[in-house]
Amino acid sequence: MARHFTVLGAGTVGVCTALQLLRDGHRVTLIDRAAPASGCSYGNAGIIQVGGLVPLANPGILRQVPKMLLDPEGPLLIRWQYLPRLMPYLLRFIASARPERVAHAANALGTILDRAIEAYRPLIQQAGAWDMVRETGELYLYKTDAAYAAAASAHALRRAHGVKMEEIPVGELSQLEPCLAPIYRHALLFNDCISVRDPAVFTRRLADAFQAAGGTWIQDEITDLDSNGSGQRHLIGATGRHALDELVIATGAYSKPWARKLGSYVPLDTERGYHLMLADPGVETQRPLIFGDQKFGAVSMLGGLRIAGTAELAKLDMAPNYARAHRLLGLAKEALPDLRTDKVTPWMGHRPSTPDSLPVICRAPGRDKTYFAFGHGHLGLTMGGITGRLIADLAAGRTPPIDMAPFDIARFS
């Protein structure tokens, strides 16, 4: 008889996991308090960033952080009142920047990113969603030699792991991306990278495919998990109790209390990120553009041009600081001089971040029939498909194609 899985959280990670489990022949229920892809998966930059194996904590970033923090307009901001709560994360972040930890994290991320696109293929195929995918790579741009030099060690690490990148002569940029200002001194094209034309629409297409194939969708805010004397577990929601057999926690930045309830510690925190959507931008990019000097991205999507970036370490429930998003407008206007900036909508999302930049993908230690799939930080869209694949492997008792130890939550205990 088919086993029954409940996946809690319908961001890209939860939706992909639910669909992969369904494809393995299980009965699957997917639960979220809102429509699929209403959380962080709604508003990301849409890049399946297979070259993204450099962990955020690295010696280079530690050198840059003091300067970034002193600049209220800079790409990183800490809300200082949150500092005491943030300390466990920050201390582990600093420890993760040691060279041997960076090498370990890059190796582990490399194993997963190498399989990211391949794991998505059957899901995209099933959803008939190839029209959402753009196979034009990702372009990194640098205005100054200093910014390019600061990124050199990260690019060297990528090269050492076989990430393909092509130096584009700056004289050719106007052909590749006609909307760009002629102000760049260095350009690198990551050819293997793909992107989606809207991450929310893309994820919802996968969620539709899940339902069309017989998956059960429930919209409910889950407040607790209990188990009665006979061992029958339930998720307690605002609309009722949902009987459970096997459970996958895929609640993104909201996963820490669920891990605690299930007996595991995770120093998960949130890096809040922002985007601005320009509905009538007057320019179109051919691919995602990443501006290395100010660390933000711009990409044309179905609904216009999206400018995305910034990291803000602050509480989950603290009100958004949209000034952070609007600061991106001036930077984008410098990069894309013909940009029309009148129809602008800001958005904030909670990246689910671990201090070592590695997601948590594992069985819950000491618990039967329980799995964790969260903590994907800056790469949740990228790693959604492969996370689902790996959880399905663990559930089936198949040996996963990669070493899973770096992704085990037990690394934090």
Ligand X SMILES: Cc1cc2nc3c(=O)[nH]c(=O)nc-3n(C[C@H](O)[C@H](O)[C@H](O)COP(=O)(O)OP(=O)(O)OC[C@H]3O[C@@H](n4cnc5c(N)ncnc54)[C@H](O)[C@@H]3O)c2cc1C
Q: Verify binding: residue 138, ligand X, rule CB under 6 A.
A: no
Residue pair 220/31 in contact (Cβ under 8 Å)? The answer is yes
Q: Is 312 in the site for ligand X (CB under 6 A)?
A: no
φ, ψ of residue 331 in degrees (nearest 5): -65, -40
Q: Give me the least distance between CB of 212 and ligand X, in Å please.
A: 20
Render the burial of 235-259: b for 16+ CB within 10 Å, e for the rest: bebeeeebebebbbbbbbbbbbebb
Residue 353 CB, nearest approach to ligand X (Å): 8
Rounded to a whole number of angstroms, the minimum distance from the CB of residue 65 to ligand X is 19
- The yes or no reply on residue 374 touching ligand X (CB under 6 A) is yes
Q: Of 144 and 211, which has the nearer Cβ to ligand X?
A: 211
3-state secondary structure at position 185: coil
108 with 407: CB under 8 angstroms? yes
Tell me how far, at minimum, the Cβ of 40 lies from ligand X, in Å: 4
Shortest distance in whole angstroms from residue 307 CB to ligand X: 9
Dist CA 22 CA 212 (whole Å): 11
CA distances from 16 to 23, 121, 272, 307 (A): 10, 11, 23, 25
Residue pair 292/154 in contact (Cβ under 8 Å)? The answer is no
128: alpha, beta or left, given left = phi > 0 and alpha = psi -120 to 50?
A: left
Based on the shown chain and the rule CB under 6 A, indicate whether residue 137 belongs to the binding site for ligand X: no
Among 6, 7, 13, 76, binds ligand X (CB under 6 A): 13
Helix (H/G/I), strand (E/B), else coil: 349? strand
55 sits near ligand X (criterion: CB under 6 A): no
Minimum CB separation from ligand X for residue 182, in Å?
26
At its nearest, how many Å lie between ligand X and the CB of residue 134? 12
Residue 225 as a binder of ligand X (CB under 6 A): the answer is no
Closer CB to ligand X, 184 or 274, in the complex: 274
**Contact status: 12 vs ligand X (CB under 6 A):** yes
Amino acid of residue 252: G
By CB under 6 A, is residue 379 in contact with ligand X?
Answer: yes
Q: Which of 110, 144, 372, 158 is nearest to 266 (CA)?
A: 372
Asked whether position 33 contacts ligand X by CB under 6 A, the answer is yes
Measured in whole angstroms, the distance separating CA 370 from the mean position of its chain's CA atoms is: 22
Selected binder of ligand X within 351, 354, 363, 395 (CB under 6 A):
351
CB contact set of 157 (below 8 Å; sequence gap of 6+): 53, 54, 102, 106
Please tell me whether residue 49 binds ligand X under the rule CB under 6 A.
yes
Confirm or reject binding of residue 285 to ligand X (CB under 6 A): no
Residue from 137, 215, 273, 281 that binds ligand X (CB under 6 A)? 273
- Count of chain residues binding ligand X (CB under 6 A): 41
The nearer residue to ligand X, 359 or 406, going by C-beta atoms, is 359
What secondary structure letter does DSSP report for 213? T
Binder among 71, 135, 221, 338 for ligand X (CB under 6 A): 221
Q: Which residues bind ligand X (CB under 6 A)?
A: 9-14, 31-34, 38-41, 44-47, 49, 221-222, 250-254, 273-275, 308, 349, 351-352, 374, 376-382
